[in-house]
Amino acid sequence: MTPVNTNPALHTALRDVLRLHSPLSTLMAPVGGEVLCVTAENVRSRPGADLVPPDAWLDRGEMTWLTRDGTLLGLLWSEAGSVPPDAEQVLTLLLSAARQDGPNHETDVLITQLPVPALWLSSDLRIRQVSRPFLEWFRTTDAAVVGRAVSEVVPGQPDLIRALEQAAAGRATRLPDAVFQLPDGPRPVRGETRPFFAAGQAGVMALWQDTSSEHAQALQIQALLDTDTPTALLKEDGAVLQASTGLLELAPPTAAAVPGAPLWAWPCFADVPSEAVRQLVSVASGGGAAQADVSLALGGTLALSVRRTSVPGLLIASSAPPGVHAAGAPAGLVAQMLSHLEDAAVALDHGGRVQFVSDPAATLLGVDAARLLGLGFGRVLADLGVHAFTPQGEPLPLPDWREQHKNFEKEIQLALPSGTVRTMQIRGSVLALEGTQSGKPGLLLSARDVTALRHAQAKMRHDARHDALTGLLNRAGLREVLTRPPTGPEAVACLGVEDFAALTAALGRTAFDHLLIQLAARLNDLAAAYGGEAARLADTVFAVQLPGMAAPEATQRLRTMLATPLRAGRRDVPLGCALGVTDQVNADRLADAEIAMQHARQQGRAQVSVFHPGMRAEVARTFELEDALGQALGGEQFTLLYQPAVRLSDGRPLGAEALLRWNHPSLGVLSPGAFLPVASRMDLLTQVSEWVVTAALQGRREVRAARPGAFADWQVSVNLSLAELRGSAGLGRLLPTLRAEGAPDIEVTAGSLLDHSQDTLGLLEQLRSLGAQLSVDDFGDSSTNLAALTRFPLSAVKLHPTLTARVPEDARSVTLVEGTVDLAHRLGLSVTAVGVETPEQLAMLRDLGCDAAQGFAIAPPLSTPDLLTWLQSHDM
């Protein structure tokens, strides 16, 4: 996204609303052919009109759709959770206005219909436009204020005027807290102002919010601190949060209390730190109530009582007159303290009659607190239609409050008069209130709304078992389901989406995610139809539980489901999946299905494998090979065998192909097909190739040294992976040896020459310059590319064993070999037949013009000593 300067009025208004009402939120909205991304700090844009939220918006936080008359105007996201309704309302209004008319209409609507008090002022601070809430505050009309100086409409506010003058000079500033003298009385306000440009005119925008509730709370706290009763509000560790003037006056004039210090360290007590006060706090923190006479610094003692409040983590310390029980406290003091707590609190006398109701409690019940005083609390709840339920949703009768004479704590669901159901943590504490007529203990009820907490915990439990993108179960969730034993036959299948990289590159990650969501919906529908579950195990791996099915039926239904292409925009996208299925009922059936899926992937594209126990043995063997392969490279477990090739015209040995074998300590002799795929996955293929080349050169030296006359030009050939050599430094490490001794002949598979890149050509040219004769191995298989015979510097082709296997019996095979030999000779290439097993095949291949042959009809793969013995018998 890029910064934008168009529509400055709208951008400024959107940014100001976020800064004032929801500073941690981000807005995304299409305006004027571009998508705006607005935060409290800046506005950025990108071309287009599609709203595509970032992945982070889907993973966490809360996203709100801003709509009007069914039209999506924008997306509002907050990582901190829900966004204030005022912010949603104002932003919706701004975006709706921006779609209707030009700048002039936009400016009028933005100002006049804002749901907060606002003024648009000229540079000389005269009112150009005013919002309706501002007019309602001052009980005036638009005509009475537009055109007047703001100092006339809001008199007696010099600090406000100075701040507005700064904004008119081009500097954004926060308005000072002030008290507006309104017709209905003084009103504390807080505001913000900044330069504002719209409809080609410059000015100042000012917005305010009512802070009456904050002001009232501050006055209540101030009133509490002005009491002569020594009182303090503490944390459980004894740190003083608030202290009354009565407590402060107990300290010597030369001593000052340290805010946040523990109560026992305050200078009003003798022998600071006071061990007696420390003990009182310790008892109260443990859940009890304690009282003791504490010595004061100015002389005398203070009967100090410390106990818990109804708010977890808070204690109250106050002076207690002689004869008052530690659990008791002056009723007036209780009322003062409870009025500052966030929890809903109700104090009842011994007859269950309401003696005090906090503002949060009155708001929760939806009634005026004054109307409840003196009424029986049980009757109040019944008349209001409040009902209680257990956390599991079972009806719970309300208790007779007159019979509650002991402390209790429980969590319940409350159905409130507003029609909402809230999860509340209820705590009841027996309380002796001074000043009651009977002197009998009453009951203090406090209720904390834990609905959001329980919802968050439920969401965490849900998210721990479900996939964020698709909503399906994740691996942990499906494992939990599969721990329940089935009541009958049951299949479990794993699907691995193939061509992930290609599809992502072609469609984009967002479109590919939409494909995954569609696939998840199909799997969920299929599983739900049979009472099962679907899950997403990894990025492109899904699983499905299908009760009542055996593996063949489950395979058929999944194949039918996958046969219908998915949709990506206007395109139909067929989705290939490797499918692994098991119907064996055991604790590891999910792992069995995954093993079968991996087996299917090894068989080719979009294949199906049904699990059998042998697959698990294959997996175990693969792990064993991976563990031992690194040791084999460093030890003496690798060896080379040599299979000679002879010239068919006279039978003279020409050279030998080096064949790698692994003498595994427990598995015996392994051919390359058993361990090279493992080496490739472990990125060890280059090291294996280096070992093969080095050992082949050593074998060539031994033959030339043993038979210097007849076989001084003896050559060996090795199979190398061009892909590994292209992508590694392996060839570079071998260059000094190859330059000194000459390279062995190199055999490359026909499939590796499908890459016609310059890199491949350069690599083959370099190998040829080092003395290697280059041959195409397995020529004639399905991946043969005839164009490669002319593009690359090749010397020979080696026929695939399947071409020679049916010679001479099959006439068509004979014709195919004859044509291949003729084509190679026309291109200047020699031909070696591989896999020659019988004398009849050898004779036919000689007649067809093959230049050389190798196979068991000539000699099996031989060790170096056996090869020397064989050469001695074929010395011509």
User: What helix, strand, coil percent values describe the chain, rounded to 5?
Assistant: 40, 30, 30
> Which residue in 302, 314, 172, 163 sits closest to 237, CA to CA?
314
Least confident of 9-23, 520-534, 850-864: 9-23
Indicate whether 351 pLDDT > 60: yes
Sign of the dihedral defined by the CA atoms of residues 720, 721, 726, 727, in that order: negative
Q: What is the pLDDT of residue 416?
A: 86
- Does this model's pTM top 0.85? no
Phi then psi dihedrals of residue 552, to 5 deg: -60, -45
| Greater model confidence, 503 or 290 | 503
| Greater model confidence, 268 or 759 | 268
Residues in the chain: 876
Indicate whether 369 pLDDT > 90: no
Indicate whether 436 pLDDT > 50: no
Express each pLDDT in 559-618 by its tens digit: 999 999 988 877 888 888 999 999 988 888 999 999 999 888 877 788 999 999 888 887
Q: Residues 466-493: what's their mean pLDDT?
A: 91
- Outline which parts of the chain fall under CATH 3.20.20.450: 628-873
- Outline which parts of the chain fall under CATH 3.30.70.270: 466-611
> Which residue in 727, 789, 739 sits closest to 766, CA to CA?
739
| Greater model confidence, 199 or 68 | 68
Indicate whether 176 pLDDT > 90: no
Q: Residues 754-769: what's their mean pLDDT?
A: 76
CATH 3.30.450.20 assigned to domain 226-453? The reply is: yes
Express each pLDDT in 684-700 by its tens digit: 787 888 888 889 999 99
Tell me the C-alpha distance between 404 and 402, whole Å: 6
Indicate whether 548 pLDDT > 80: yes
Average pLDDT, the chain: 81
Tell me the C-alpha distance between 519 and 513, whole Å: 10
Q: Residues 345-353: what's their mean pLDDT?
A: 82
Exposure string over 566-591, b if 16+ CB within 10 A, otherwise e = bebeeeebebebbbbbbbbeeeebbb
CATH of span 2-213: 3.30.450.20
Please, what CATH class does the domain formed by 466-611 belong to?
Answer: alpha beta
| Greater model confidence, 621 or 474 | 474
Percent of the chain, pLDDT > 90? Answer: 21
Q: Which CATH superfamily is domain 628-873 in?
A: EAL domain (3.20.20.450)
Indicate whether 824 pLDDT > 80: yes
Indicate whether 875 pLDDT > 60: yes
Percent of the chain, pLDDT > 70? Answer: 84
Question: Inter-axis angle of helices 8-21 and 85-98, to 10 degrees?
Answer: 170
Express each pLDDT in 705-740 by its tens digit: 988 888 888 999 998 877 666 655 556 677 777 888
Express each pLDDT in 641-685 by its tens digit: 999 999 999 889 999 999 999 898 888 888 888 888 778 777 778
Tell me the C-alpha distance between 619 and 625, whole Å: 10
In a 13 Å sphere around the CA of 156, the CA atoms on its Cβ side amount to 6
Q: Which are the contacts of 822, defined by CB distance < 8 A and separation ≥ 6?
A: 849
Rg over alpha carbons for the chain, rounded to the nearest Å, is: 43
Indicate whether 324 pLDDT > 50: no
* Confidence band for 25, pLDDT divided at 50, 70 and 90: confident
Q: Residues 7-11: what's their mean pLDDT?
A: 73
* Confidence band for 200, pLDDT divided at 50, 70 and 90: very low
What is the 3 state secondary structure string of 688-712? HHHHHHHHHHHHHHHHHHHCCCCCC
